[in-house]
Amino acid sequence: MARILAGRTEEQPLIDPHGRAITYLRVSVTDRCDFRCVYCMAEDMTFLPKTEVLTLEELDRLCSAFVARGVRKLRLTGGEPLVRRNIMSLIEGLSRHLDSGALDELTLTTNGSQLAKYADQLYAAGVRRLNVSLDTLDESRFAAITRWGRLPQVMEGLAAARRAGLAIKINTVALRGVNDAEFDALVRWCGDQGFDLTFIEVMPMGEMGEGVRLDQYMPLSMVRAQLNKSWTLEDTDYDTGGPARYARCRETGGRIGFITPLTHNFCESCNRVRLTCTGTLYMCLGQEDAADLRTPLRADPTDALLMDAVDEAIGRKPKGHDFVIDRRRNGPAVGRHMSVTGG
Ligand code: SAM
Ligand code: SF4
């Protein structure tokens, strides 16, 4: 029987004002990272003081509250989720929702640097798929893009993940003049490894310095046109519940996805919200509006205030975003960095 909490049943699903059920929660578990990717962070990032960051127990409580309200998919991200101390205790704890059947999927987006250490433990905790971000197969280019990252470490991590039985999707940010000569090589390599591959458009987030994003921005229609010269891409209706559109590459058999937040409006089917490591809930990646869930979480051990705050926040979920990249508005549409909400 449903437990009555603050005048509503725990199981009451989260439906936003536009009729969309919220079934997918992305959680940034830390703002810290062992890389400093040029499009994501400044090299001298200042990170949050520890007191502002939710404890692992608080993160579990928040995630579990959303699961109780109908979230079926949890993605942990960051910053780099696997650099958070004791992260496995959170993941192992959350796996109880997989065991109970409340959750369909527990997954992560990671830069891969710590996978050699964690791949087996992740699999044991019920994680079956990972998104691993990798923009290049060239060691020096990798170092230039990530500043602090080293490609061999990520390659070892990917090998460990594969051995552990984890399905891998590579996320590649398309950057004009940086990795655009490598797309064919990435398609071939992912095909050989049995990885799916998704291309992402660089998004206007955070202050990165004069014109960086405008110069590097590459619409995925261009990426696809380039791939069409070498590969036969057949559209599929494969749907992971995310914004990517997928094609099947006939030659490699691999799936290739395209996430086009700037050129393709995917808001109608948006089923997700994003939580930061401070307990701030963003109802839309492309809007500033947010709700503080940390205060009600800390004020009330019964979760009643938290549930009220969640309802109120979902009631404000906007219909869509308004990212714009153009020469007249040469600045970020959203001031926060991607590492705050984790993409
Ligand atoms: N550290 C993990 C990683 O790199 O996979 C998780 C967090 S990272 C912020 C999540 C994703 O956001 C990565 O795939 C990264 O490439 C992407 N990303 C970061 N900044 C971006 C930007 N300005 N535009 C588009 N994608 C971005
Ligand atoms: Fe770190 Fe991921 Fe941002 Fe790169 S994209 S700096 S790996 S959080």
Q: Which ligand is nearest to the CA of 26?
A: 1
Q: Which ligand is nearest to the CA of 343?
A: 1
Cβ-contact 35, 147 below 8 angstroms: yes
What is the pLDDT, as a whole number, of residue 264? Answer: 47
Cβ-contact 43, 98 below 8 angstroms: no
Residue pLDDT, tens place only, 199-235: 998 876 555 543 345 678 888 999 999 999 999 999 9
Read off the pLDDT of each residue in 279-294 and give the average, rounded to a whole number.
89
41-70 burial code (b ≥16 CB/10 A, e <16): beeeeeeeeeeebbebebbbbbbbbbbbbb
| Domains of the chain, CATH where assigned | 4-341 (3.20.20.70)
Burial of 294 (0-12, 13-18, 19+ CB in 10 A): buried
Q: Which ligand is nearest to the CA of 146?
A: 2
DSSP string, 245-302: EEEEETTT--EEEEE-TTTS--GGG--EEEE-TTSEEES-TT---EEE-HHHHHH-TT
Distance in Å, CA 292 to ligand 1 centroid: 23
CA distance 273 to 275: 7
**Ligand 1 cavity residues, CB under 6 Å:** 33, 39-40, 77-78, 80, 109-111, 133, 171, 173, 200, 202-203, 205, 338-339, 342-343
Cβ-contact 53, 27 below 8 angstroms: no
Distance in Å, CA 312 to ligand 2 centroid: 31
State if residue 135 touches ligand 2 by the CB under 6 angstroms criterion: no
Distances (CA, A) of 48 to 75, 247, 252, 331, 339: 21, 40, 43, 24, 12
Atom of ligand 2 nearest to the CA of 40: 3
State if residue 157 touches ligand 2 by the CB under 6 angstroms criterion: no
User: Would the CA dihedral through 302, 304, 306, 310 be positive or negative?
Assistant: positive
State if residue 277 touches ligand 2 by the CB under 6 angstroms criterion: no
Query: Which ranges in the chain belong to alpha helices (H)?
Result: 56-68, 87-94, 96-99, 115-124, 139-146, 151-164, 183-193, 212-216, 220-228, 294-299, 304-314, 338-341
Q: Would the pLDDT of 244 be above 90?
A: no
What is the pLDDT, as a whole number, of residue 210? Answer: 38
Q: What one-character DSSP code corresponds to residue 52?
A: G
Residue pLDDT, tens place only, 68-82: 999 999 999 999 999
Distance in Å, CA 37 to ligand 2 centroid: 5
Distance in Å, CA 40 to ligand 1 centroid: 6
Average pLDDT along the chain: 88
CA distance 129 to 34: 22
Probe target for ligand 1 pocket from 80, 109, 323, with the most ligand atoms within 8 Å of CB: 109
Distance in Å, CA 40 to ligand 2 centroid: 6
- Tokens describing residue 306: 């938290």
Cβ-contact 54, 277 below 8 angstroms: yes
CA distance 315 to 195: 38
Q: Would the pLDDT of 85 be above 60?
A: yes
CA distance 250 to 57: 46
The DSSP element (H or E) to which 12 belongs, if any, is none
Residue pLDDT, tens place only, 308-338: 999 999 998 888 766 544 434 445 555 565 6
Atom of ligand 1 nearest to the CA of 173: 16
Distance in Å, CA 109 to ligand 1 centroid: 9
Read off the pLDDT of each residue in 22-41 and give the average, rounded to a whole number.
95
Distance in Å, CA 185 to ligand 1 centroid: 21
